Structure 1
């Protein structure tokens, strides 16, 4: 019976993976948007649970308005940005056959020291704007948290991005990013909502 259940589970996983690959081939951008639109809000919910565990006075329950902002950011920003970025990078600086090559280190430098700082700033800005912050509120948030976030980003993403750029096919790069980004988003969600008192439009 146990063996049969394992076989059923394997068949289900195989079917799901096959369906994902088929969707990725037929509708790559939409599939990536839907994937990010699930992973990022799930990470925010995890972040909220962590925050509540560390603060007994915090309101009970999940703030689904906050989570919806992460859904919007994942669907409308994270997935399209990374979809076009990796396609652009692989077209302009094609991956070599040898992972430990100067070209791959150039690709890593472009990804982490050009793309990542811009994306992180834009990501914080979009979340702040979705919360109702004005331009000064966005500037204050970036001034307070952008640089410290980038330093942590490079600890996590330099090795993760090297693996992605060296070994992962272009079509699956965003899926790999999303797996790592789930855990990274928990950190980002905590930072993005830390000491936030957005300056509203008047």
Structure 2
């Protein structure tokens, strides 16, 4: 009985080590990304004046990385909370230990130890999100320029052009952008035509509906108040939560 109690303590310490280590790595990466984003924000006007498209691409990539890191943090904490709940439920079960003095770590899957540990940080997934933001930025840049030229704001009546921009953005660019996102992610993850079809069938329409709930109000503010050089960074900054949602949606469909 004493040996079993000792093993429970050691196993609990090992689980705490695993639970603490993974979110810590996520947090460190998040802080590094935020430091880079802060640096870009401090020099944004200078960079934009010299190379507007490249500045937008780099900014989009960094903010996309922040969003995916937030999503991975959420997943890690969820996994940790779920496993702790399972451990609490099963804490009354006694464990028979044969060679406690050897102090060997549990085998994979033993006591649910390694089998249920939180997921490690996915650097490939982070790279995919940063690459998507990087390469999507020139398209956004051209699109926002088109909207500003097609529907210029006037002092006499600025409201009508804003609503026209929002309507065009939501009914033309938003469906196109989401299609690009899910297509790119599926192909980058190694999926084929079947995986892509399933992705569109399962998550595209629900995500598009969620888009229509959030983004019209954001874009009204964006087109009405924000100067054009800051419109894409503003969208990307507000979009950290949205991109984190997309990341969670995309990864949950994979599982």
2:147 paired residue among 89, 95, 103: 89
CA contact (8 A) 2:64 2:240 kept: yes
* Residues 73, 58 of structure 1: alpha-carbon distance in 2 compared, 3 angstrom cutoff: farther
* Residues 18, 66 of structure 1: alpha-carbon distance in 2 compared, 3 angstrom cutoff: closer
Q: How much has 1:191 moved relative to structure 2?
A: 0.5
CA contact (8 A) 2:71 2:244 kept: yes
CA contact (8 A) 2:40 2:59 kept: no
Matches within 5 A, 1:126-141: 126-141=184-199
The runs of 4+ residues in structure 1 deviating greater than 6 Å are none
* Residues 130, 97 of structure 1: alpha-carbon distance in 2 compared, 3 angstrom cutoff: farther
Does residue 70 (structure 1) correspond to residue 151 (structure 2)? The answer is: no
CA contact (8 A) 1:96 1:104 kept: no
Q: CA–CA distance in 2 between the matches of 1:29 and 1:16?
A: 14
CA contact (8 A) 1:44 1:185 kept: yes
Does residue 181 (structure 1) correspond to residue 239 (structure 2)? The answer is: yes
Matches within 5 A, 1:154-193: 154-193=212-251
Q: CA–CA distance in 2 between the matches of 1:43 and 1:59?
A: 19
Secondary structure in 1 aligned to 2:120?
coil
Q: How much has 1:17 moved relative to structure 2?
A: 4.8
Q: How much has 1:16 moved relative to structure 2?
A: 6.3
Residue number in structure 2 paired with 1:145: 203
> Which runs of 5 or more residues in structure 1 are unaligned?
1-13, 198-202
Q: How much has 1:18 moved relative to structure 2?
A: 5.6
1:54 paired residue among 58, 78, 84: 78
CA contact (8 A) 2:170 2:216 kept: yes
Secondary structure in 2 aligned to 1:82?
helix
Secondary structure in 2 aligned to 1:55?
helix
> Which runs of 5 or more residues in structure 2 are unaligned?
1-37, 81-115
Secondary structure in 2 aligned to 1:94?
coil
2:166 paired residue among 79, 101, 108: 108
Residue number in structure 2 paired with 1:23: 47
Q: Whose Rg is larger?
A: 2
Give the alignment's TM-score, normalised by structure 2: 0.67
* Residues 174, 16 of structure 1: alpha-carbon distance in 2 compared, 3 angstrom cutoff: closer
CA contact (8 A) 1:39 1:182 kept: yes
Q: CA–CA distance in 2 between the matches of 1:190 and 1:107?
A: 29
* Residues 15, 40 of structure 1: alpha-carbon distance in 2 compared, 3 angstrom cutoff: closer
